[in-house]
Amino acid sequence: MKHTGRAFWIDSPGRGGIRDVSLPEPGEGEVLVRTLYSGVSRGTETLVFRGGVPESQHTAMRAPFQEGDFPGPVKYGYLSVGVVEEGPEALTGRTVFCLYPHQTRYVVPVSAVTPVPDTVPAERAVLAGTVETAVNALWDAAPLIGDRIAVVGGGMVGSSVAALLARFPGVRVQLVDADPGRADIAKALGVGFASPEDALGECDLVVHASATEQGLARSLELLTAEGTVLELSWYGDRKVSLPLGEAFHSRRLVIRSSQVGTVSPARPDRTYADRLALALDLLADPALDALVTGESAFEDLPDVLPRLASGEIPALCHRVRYDQSA
């Protein structure tokens, strides 16, 4: 029986469509997955949709199962949850997570899928890739008991970091965002909330995820002496100016990058698979449902992506629902 599927492609910056695809027969060590849900990470994916990936980063920004090239045509995405229809007996019928673009069915190596724990509903498992980013960031940041911490930028990544920090004993965590509507998300995650002008200072650590010049500058202002800003934002092809005069040197401040493409060197004994499995385990917490702020059908993606990119739909993670009978 020949398997087919349908996939969302970015045809050119700002414009996408759905294409029919022919799938290979799964071979030894491969699985056929029928998608239940996928997720759109608004920051990275809408930047890709707008054609904002700089040429120098075309290789670094490739998703594991991307087809085509930036700026387009390109099939891009990395938050997919589905059920294994064909494959090894131990996986057949299991719900799995895969770093795959938006597509109704696909064939991948067994090593590319991670079983979703029974404690995690498929609807929430689309957050695994973003929670994995947060895990890596906190491995890099290494917060300590009693730290005073701000997370500047309450988008999908920033909120995921805040959600994990809420579990750390004795820390003061504040989610900082210019959108007052993010206060409800902070409350659901169990952390404090403040606007940028009202944020608490003297922070030992600030995790910056707003992808704005103003947010990064404010992050530096919130630090105590010898404090660190962990930079998670992806700016694409935009230039950023920073106030590195003033007290930057006298207070010995640090700006450090973190990127999920490499497992944190602070955990040399952990693999990518270990990190993703941990992220899925952490998703047993129902508080993380607050990060999914919208849902639409797969067939609507060509209309939904432009609205996500423009901000008309103010999503954190936008979940894509697939026809369960397909």
Q: Which domains does the chain have, with CATH numbers?
A: 3-127+283-321 (3.90.180.10), 130-257 (3.40.50.720)
pLDDT at residue 326, rounded to an integer: 54
> Which tokens in the block code for residue 108?
């991948």
Tens of pLDDT, residue by residue over 25-73, are 999 999 999 999 999 987 789 889 999 888 888 998 899 999 999 999 9
Closest among 265, 309, 2, 280 to 129, alpha carbons compared:
280
Is the CB of residue 214 less than 8 Å from the CB of residue 195?
no
Q: Which of 124, 139, 135 is nearest to 289 (CA)?
A: 124
pLDDT beneath 50: ranges in the chain: none
Cβ of 201: how many Cβ atoms within 10 Å?
Answer: 12
Strands 203-208, 148-152: pairing is parallel
Q: Are 104 and 7 in contact (CB under 8 A)?
A: yes
Torsion angles phi and psi, residue 49, rounded to 5: -60, -35
Taking the C-alpha atoms of residue 267 and residue 261, their distance in angstroms, rounded to an integer, is 14
Tell me what pLDDT residue 261 has.
Answer: 86
- Residue that is written with structure tokens 């970015």 in the block: 10
Determine the Cα–Cα distance for residues 192 and 184; give it in Å rounded to an integer: 10
Q: What CA–CA distance (Å, rounded) separates 153 from 179?
A: 9
Nearest to 314 by CA among 296, 295, 294: 294
Is the CB of residue 133 less than 8 Å from the CB of residue 264? no
Q: Using CA of residue 16, residue 323, residue 90, residue 270, what is the dihedral sign?
A: positive
Tell me the HSE value of 225 on the side-chain side, using a 13 A CA sphere. 2
Peptide bond between residue 71 and the one before it cis (omega within 30 degrees of 0): yes
Q: Which of 193, 173, 188, 191 is nearest to 287 (CA)?
A: 188
Confidence (pTM):
0.90
DSSP code for 197: G
Q: Which residues contact 129 (CB under 8 A, 6 or more apart)?
A: 39, 41, 78, 79, 97, 99, 276, 279
Can you list the pairs that 48-55 forms with residues at least 24 positions away whose Cβ atoms lie under 8 Å? 48/10, 48/74, 48/76, 49/10, 49/13, 49/14, 49/16, 49/305, 49/306, 49/308, 49/309, 50/13, 50/14, 50/309, 51/12, 51/13, 51/14, 52/236, 52/237, 52/238, 53/236, 53/237, 54/236, 54/237
